[in-house]
């Protein structure tokens, strides 16, 4: 299912579901939100997040992206709230298991990827640290400064960020291997859940899809591709195999950034 981009005024004046997304970067939270809506065939229009547009934040309810604004309801921007909104707008196919234990496990894995102090969070701070300390593979300095003040960068923790991300990569790979040994290619049970979508989309921060499929800003690609030896070792091939299978079977390519 495809979607179209509209400008801010059109988005504001429209009804239905409007999704504010990051432009030119496969930002995991934005790509996961698009993916979840597409898997569930929920129509939406997308609008690019503009941190300089003073009218955008009061409307979207967030200083970041994504945000989902449905009709005249209060906007939602937390990944859990966007998932809950999608489940409400179209319960089927459900990306949240019915079984309580499986649901808890699914939310636990998803939080490891999306929550503050999760995988995407630490990977971003790792790139910020490298950018601010002049190490290769970091965000350009201006971007690093912007992200540092916005997303909780602490200089003294700089060297730990990569190790924290690696630990999570390791636990995700372990979960996929355990599932594989039971004959499943999904994180939970035997069918697609939101955890699969979050994992597939966050891999862009470690091994983005080729430019033909993921036409991202040229100064961000080297940052997302930069892997020090520990991170390269933590990025188990099963994570990329899983990503490729989920994109092939459920998500849209090329990405629309």
Ligand X SMILES: N[C@@H](CCC(=O)N[C@@H](CS)C(=O)NCC(=O)O)C(=O)O
Please tell me whether residue 150 binds ligand X under the rule CB under 6 A: yes
Piece in contact with ligand X (CB under 6 A), picked from 21-29, 102-110, 158-166, 244-252 = 21-29
Which residues lie below 8 Å from residue 237, measured CB to CB, with a gap of 6+? Answer: none
H or E element at residue 45: strand 45-48
Q: How many residues bind ligand X (CB under 6 A)?
A: 12
Measured at CB, which residue is nearest to ligand X? 64
CB-count exposure of residue 9 (10 Å: 0-12, 13-18, 19+): exposed
Binding status of residue 27 toward ligand X by CB under 6 A: yes
Q: Which residue has the tokens 């504001």?
A: 12
Toward ligand X, which CB reaches closer, 51 or 91? 51
Give the range of 36-44, 75-83, 172-180, 210-218 binding ligand X by CB under 6 A: 75-83
Binding flag, residue 184, ligand X (CB under 6 A): no
Exposed, middle or buried by CB within 10 Å (0-12, 13-18, 19+), for 194?
Answer: buried
What backbone torsions phi and psi does residue 61 show, to the nearest 5 degrees?
75, 15
| Separation of alpha carbons 242 and 186, rounded Å | 8
Nearer of residues 97 and 118 to ligand X, judged by Cβ: 118
Decide whether 27 or 38 has the Cβ nearer to ligand X: 27
Question: Which residues within the stretch 102-131 sit at the binding site for ligand X (CB under 6 A)?
Answer: 114
C-beta of residue 231 within 8 angstroms of C-beta of residue 206: yes
Query: Does 79 contact ligand X by CB under 6 A?
Result: yes
CB of 67 to ligand X, least distance (A): 8
- The residue from 5, 6, 59, 78 that contacts ligand X (CB under 6 A) is 78
Q: Which residue has the tokens 């234990």?
A: 101
Q: Which of 8, 29, 44, 247 is the binder for ligand X (CB under 6 A)?
A: 29
User: Is residue 206 close enough to count as binding ligand X by CB under 6 A?
Assistant: no
Residue 40, CB-side half-sphere exposure with 13 Å CA sphere: 27
- Closest Cα partner for 22 from 130, 117, 150? 150
CB of 232 to ligand X, least distance (A): 22
Smallest separation, CB 134 to ligand X (Å): 22
Q: Pinpoint the alpha helices (H) of the chain.
A: 8-13, 28-39, 56-60, 79-89, 100-114, 119-133, 141-150, 158-181, 194-202, 221-225, 229-234, 237-250
Q: Which of 244, 253, 256, 172 is nearest to 216 (CA)?
A: 256
Q: Which is nearer to ligand X, 65 or 179 (CB)?
A: 65
Kindly tell me which of 29 and 153 has the beta carbon lying closer to ligand X. Answer: 29
Single out the segment in contact with ligand X by CB under 6 A; choices: 11-19, 22-30, 85-93, 239-247. Answer: 22-30
Residues of this chain that interact with ligand X (CB under 6 A) are: 22, 27, 29, 49, 51, 64-65, 77-79, 114, 150
């Amino acid at each position: 299912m495809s979607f179209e981009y509209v400008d801010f005024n059109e988005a504001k004046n429209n009804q239905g579901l409007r999704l504010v997304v990051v432009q030119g970067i496969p930002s995991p939270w934005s790509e996961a939100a698009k993916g979840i809506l597409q898997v569930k065939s929920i129509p939406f229009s997308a609008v690019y997040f503009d941190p300089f547009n003073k009218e955008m934040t009061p409307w979207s309810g967030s200083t970041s992206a994504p945000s989902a604004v449905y009709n005249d309801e209060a906007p939602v921007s937390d990944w859990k709230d966007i998932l809950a909104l999608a489940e409400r707008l179209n319960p089927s196919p459900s990306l949240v298991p019915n079984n309580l234990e499986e649901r808890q496990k699914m939310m636990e894995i998803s939080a490891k990827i999306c929550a503050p102090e999760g995988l995407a969070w630490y990977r971003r701070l790792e790139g910020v640290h490298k950018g601010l300390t002049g190490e290769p593979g970091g965000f350009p300095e201006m971007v690093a400064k912007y992200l540092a003040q916005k997303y909780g960068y602490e200089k003294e923790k700089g060297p730990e960020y990569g190790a924290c991300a690696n630990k999570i990569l390791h636990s995700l790979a372990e979960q996929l291997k355990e599932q594989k040994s039971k004959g499943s290619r999904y994180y939970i049970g035997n069918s697609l859940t939101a955890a699969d979508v979050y994992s597939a989309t966050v891999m862009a921060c470690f091994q983005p899809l080729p430019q033909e499929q993921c036409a991202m800003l040229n100064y961000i690609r080297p940052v997302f591709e930069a892997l020090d030896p520990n991170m390269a070792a933590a990025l188990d091939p099963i994570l990329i195999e899983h990503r490729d299978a989920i994109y092939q079977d459920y998500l849209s390519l090329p990405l629309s950034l």
